[in-house]
């Protein structure tokens, strides 16, 4: 089977971390895992993540400042230490992009843009974002998506694959985001950060986009998903506060 580079990027971003998706169109590429088991093993997931990481490193300039990387990775390691899959070799790469975004790849690869880190105002916000991405990895969202997409590709010809893959992605988007939010704020709190950091960041980012009138590029369905995500986060945080009192 052929796994396209477009699918490769969707695997790298199992769910959009914030409020928009950059759309890419790539040529076909002939790599994939040797089979498509019902559950990908840790070793296979790590191998898939290496392939994704290699591709991303060829597409972006990386932030090389050692102090900046040390500060961010210090937060990453604190969050990873309290996660459910803390034996994975998590790494965090800062991309030289002014866009405000973050995503993860299988096996423990986390990517944050320079624009996101400049937009964040506190370590709590950064920890909340990192917790969200660590949760995606812990919950095996990319691996689940990979398995479903490969199953679809085995049953359809090239003409139907793109539409079917997009349908799978969209069907999981809200579920994956809310699950990663729930788990991510728990990780941030366990690591010693204020669990409200993620919500603070997302609300400010939403206001920023509305102020810049960027919502004109987003359809009503996506806007509804954003609202549902924020409401879900508020509910989770309220329940967390109750349980701590």
Largest CA distance in the chain: 56
Task: Taking each helix axis as running N to C, give the angle between helix 158-190 and helix 123-138, from 0 to 180 degrees, rounded to the nearest 10.
Answer: 130
pLDDT for residue 240 is more than 50: yes
pLDDT tens digits, 93-140: 999 999 888 998 888 999 999 999 999 999 999 999 999 999 999 998
Average pLDDT estimate for 172-182? 85
pLDDT tens digits, 41-98: 788 888 888 888 988 898 899 999 999 999 999 999 999 999 999 999 999 999 999 9
pLDDT for residue 25 is more than 80: no
Task: Taking each helix axis as running N to C, give the angle between helix 158-190 and helix 5-12, from 0 to 180 degrees, rounded to the nearest 10.
Answer: 20
DSSP for 133-151, written as a single string: HHHHHHTTHHHHHHHHHHH
d(CA 156, CA 108): 31
What pLDDT does residue 186 have?
96
Contact between 81 and 193 (Cβ < 8 Å): no
Which residue would you say has higher pLDDT here, 11 or 66?
Answer: 66
Tokens coding 228 = 């549902």
Tokens coding 103 = 């995503």
Helices (H), the chain: 5-12, 42-59, 66-81, 114-119, 123-138, 141-155, 158-190, 197-211, 220-244
What pLDDT does residue 64 have?
92
* Percent with pLDDT over 90 in the chain: 43
Q: Which of 67-71, 155-159, 169-173, 176-180 has the highest mean pLDDT?
A: 67-71
């Amino acid at each position: 089977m052929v796994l396209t580079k477009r699918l490769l990027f969707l695997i790298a971003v199992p769910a959009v971390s914030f409020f928009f998706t950059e759309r890419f169109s790539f040529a076909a590429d002939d790599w994939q895992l040797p089979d498509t088991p019902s559950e990908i093993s840790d070793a296979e997931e790590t191998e898939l993540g290496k392939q994704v990481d290699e591709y991303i490193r060829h597409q972006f300039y990386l932030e090389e400042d050692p102090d900046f990387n040390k500060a961010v990775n210090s937060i990453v390691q604190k969050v990873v230490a309290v996660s459910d899959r803390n034996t994975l070799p998590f790494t965090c790469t800062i991309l030289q992009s002014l866009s405000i975004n973050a995503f993860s790849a299988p096996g423990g690869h986390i990517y944050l843009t320079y624009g996101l880190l400049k937009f964040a105002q506190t370590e709590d916000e950064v920890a909340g974002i990192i917790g969200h991405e660590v949760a995606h990895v812990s919950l095996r969202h990319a691996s689940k998506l990979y398995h479903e997409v490969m199953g679809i590709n085995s049953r359809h010809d090239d003409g139907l694959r793109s539409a079917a893959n997009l349908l799978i992605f969209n069907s999981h988007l809200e579920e994956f985001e809310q699950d990663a939010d729930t788990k991510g704020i728990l990780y941030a709190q366990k690591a010693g950060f204020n669990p409200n950091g993620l919500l603070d960041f997302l609300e400010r980012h939403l206001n920023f986009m509305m102020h810049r009138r960027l919502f004109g590029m987003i359809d009503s369905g996506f806007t509804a998903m954003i609202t549902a995500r924020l409401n879900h986060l508020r509910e989770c945080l309220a329940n967390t506060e109750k349980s701590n009192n």
